[in-house]
Structure 1
Amino acid sequence: MSGVFAGFATIAVVIGLGMLLAHTRVVDANGQRVLSAVAFYLASPALLFVTLLGSDLGRVFSLNVVAIVAGVAATGAVTLVVARVRREDVGRSVIATLCSSYCNAGNLGLPIAAYVLGDAALIAPVLLLQLLVLQPLALTALDVAVSPVRLPLGRVLTRPLRNPITVGSLLGLLVALSGVALPDAVVDPLALVGGMAVPAMLLAYGVSLRLGPLPGRGVSAGDLGLAVGLKLLAQPAVAYVAGRLLGLDDAALLAVTVISALPTAQNVFVIATRYDRGVLLARDAIFVSTLGCVPVTIGVVALLA
């Protein structure tokens, strides 16, 4: 259980440092955009390349992933239906869907998998699912949404191949599948640059918290409640039920439920900032779901462990 609190404490400290930088006027709104841009275009692709390079790809093809996918699909579908009924902007609808279904599998999921579930490799399948399926789809939809002209089908289909995050992920996967061992002269600089990704995301997020409206004041309570409720309650519940139907054992059920209950990932805020769609919703959903994840995770472990 100490791993849960350690993961949350680390995130809170770095976000607090971002707020301090904004409060002391060391970093302003332009600086926050620079941090987000560095994370999006450089650090995140490098981090994802190195992460996927060392992943156990055999863990992707398991029933655990099916249960997790069920939770993601359910919450994403509900969000899209609500957005359709409300006739919301496509770009904002995509960000809202990410808020309700895209979990913090990296900097928070890894310590929770290691210290609560006892196996850090359990987080690899959801990382790959998000990096290679959800994120490319979302980025392609956002590219189309912000384009001032109607894009030809060929350009739409090839958009993911021109996105730095998707390219980094695909290259890492291809190298891992090939079995080629890259020299340290290649991997070490990428690992060093990738180390900036999470801190840059968290610092930019902290700056936004300090400079923007307080959480809960910049977005309607209904929109925020829907996103956070789907993420923390509906997604793990659906994953648990799907796991039961699939016949997963108790350990696997605990794993898929805890992983599905992870809060909204910080890079959703980076993506929202990059495309200028649903920025406040992303920021507030991350903030509230990260706080709410603590009691939810403790409750899940207490009930299922």
Structure 2
Amino acid sequence: MAVGAVLTGFATIAAVIALGALLAHIRLVDVQAQILLSRLAFFVASPALMVTTIGDADVGQVLSRNLVATTASVVVSAAIYLAGARWVWRRAVPESVIGALSSAYVNAGNLGIPIAAYVLGDAALVAPTLLLQLLVLQPLALAVLDRHTRAAPAGAGAALRQVASNPLTLGSVLGLVLALTGCRLPEVVAAPVTLVGDMAVPSMLLAYGIALRLGPGLGAGGPVAELATTTTLKLLVQPFVAWVVAHWLLGVDGTALLAVVVTAALPTAQNIFVHATRFGRGQELARDTILLTTMGSVPVILLITLLLG
């Protein structure tokens, strides 16, 4: 049952990505279509999805030991990449941010939620990772990208305005307010928000498939060692750190331990490619890391499920 659910989740994602590549191959869509889909996902569909996803999350689990282990795994993986970007590959700040996200930002939404529901038996188990990424990691990363890719005014106030004006951040905060207060949007508002949010994941996956077909070949975006680093950090280092911190330092065991390690082993999220496209930095590294980690995470997650399940 667990193995079948994992395979089904990955097969669904692969099928939609393949459709995007096919549409590009037969010239039904082009690079402009990929950019349009990415923009729709970033500015419209993803914020709506955040409202509905976080609004239904069990935020009580945010203050759990799993959150500590999740945070540690993200910090370690991102820090290792940033050290390499600074001292080895000499990357600029925007490219470094995209590389760090590629190394540590997991697909907790469209893959993590179904795996948590069908493999772990409780979709709320992915909530700590989901909220950490959407309310802390993503806003900080987007603020830095905003700051270093356009002429932005200086000062803390300007930085706060950049964060507050980001549509994904706004959607995430609204979802958190709904979850904390127990309020629900009126049906006349919730129905269209849900409908638009349902467009987010397909748009991301189709745009990604188009980019795979029309973009440079695998590994053409930079040093192979850099791609190998982001892939290894995501697939091996991040779940290993999560396991060490959760089990050996915090005493987490059973389903809770399985949840934090499996979540850490999820592949890089497709929305990192959307961010890379939006800011015009690090697209190839994000694209290739997503591809390799999506393929490589299948055996990794199956092994974790067998060992800890």
Task: Give the structure-2-normalised TM-score.
Answer: 0.96
- Mean Cα deviation higher: 119-128 or 264-273: 119-128
Q: Tell me the residue number matched to 1:293.
A: 297
Distance 2:254 2:52 in 1: 32
Which amino acid counterpart does residue 24 of structure 1 have in structure 2?
Answer: I
Q: Is residue 230 of structure 2 the alignment partner of residue 223 of structure 1? A: no
Provide the identity percentage: 55
Q: Tell me the residue number matched to 1:34.
A: 36
Please give the secondary structure, in 2, of the residue aligned with 1:262.
coil
Of the three residues 120, 125, 133, the one matched with 1:122 is: 125
Which amino acid counterpart does residue 124 of structure 1 have in structure 2?
Answer: A
Which amino acid counterpart does residue 277 of structure 1 have in structure 2?
Answer: R
RMSD: 1.1
Distance 2:292 2:87 in 1: 25
Q: How far off its partner does 1:217 sit?
A: 3.0
Which 5+ residue runs of structure 2 have no aligned equivalent? none
Q: How far off its partner does 1:216 sit?
A: 2.4
Deviations 1:90-124 (A, max 9, x none): 00000000000000001111121122222111111
Distance 1:298 1:99 in 2: 21
Distance 1:191 1:150 in 2: 35
Of the three residues 39, 46, 63, the one matched with 1:44 is: 46
Q: Tell me the residue number matched to 1:209.
A: 212
Deviations 1:279-305 (A, max 9, x none): 000000000000000010111112222
Q: Tell me the residue number matched to 2:246.
A: 243
Please give the secondary structure, in 1, of the residue aligned with 2:185.
coil
Of the three residues 267, 278, 282, the one matched with 1:278 is: 282
Q: How far off its partner does 1:149 sit?
A: 5.3
Q: Tell me the residue number matched to 2:8.
A: 6
Q: Tell me the residue number matched to 1:145.
A: 148
Q: How far off its partner does 1:150 sit?
A: 5.4
Which amino acid counterpart does residue 32 of structure 1 have in structure 2?
Answer: Q
Which amino acid counterpart does residue 292 of structure 2 have in structure 1?
Answer: V
Please give the secondary structure, in 1, of the residue aligned with 2:146.
helix
Which amino acid counterpart does residue 11 of structure 2 have in structure 1?
Answer: A
Q: Tell me the residue number matched to 1:191.
A: 194
Of the three residues 172, 181, 194, the one matched with 2:184 is: 181
Which amino acid counterpart does residue 295 of structure 1 have in structure 2?
Answer: P
Q: How far off its partner does 1:148 sit?
A: 3.2
Of the three residues 65, 76, 80, the one matched with 2:82 is: 80
Deviations 1:110-147 (A, max 9, x none): 12112222211111111101000000000000001102
Q: How far off its partner does 1:176 sit?
A: 2.2
Deviations 1:240-265 (A, max 9, x none): 00012101122222111111000000
Please give the secondary structure, in 2, of the residue aligned with 1:180.
coil
Of the three residues 21, 24, 29, the one matched with 1:19 is: 21
Which 5+ residue runs of structure 1 have no aligned equivalent? none
> Do 2:152 and 2:158's aligned partners in 1 also have CA atoms closer than 8 Å?
no
Distance 2:255 2:182 in 1: 31
Q: Tell me the residue number matched to 1:254.
A: 258
Q: How far off its partner does 1:33 sit?
A: 0.4
Q: How far off its partner does 1:76 sit?
A: 1.0
**Aligned pairs, number:** 305
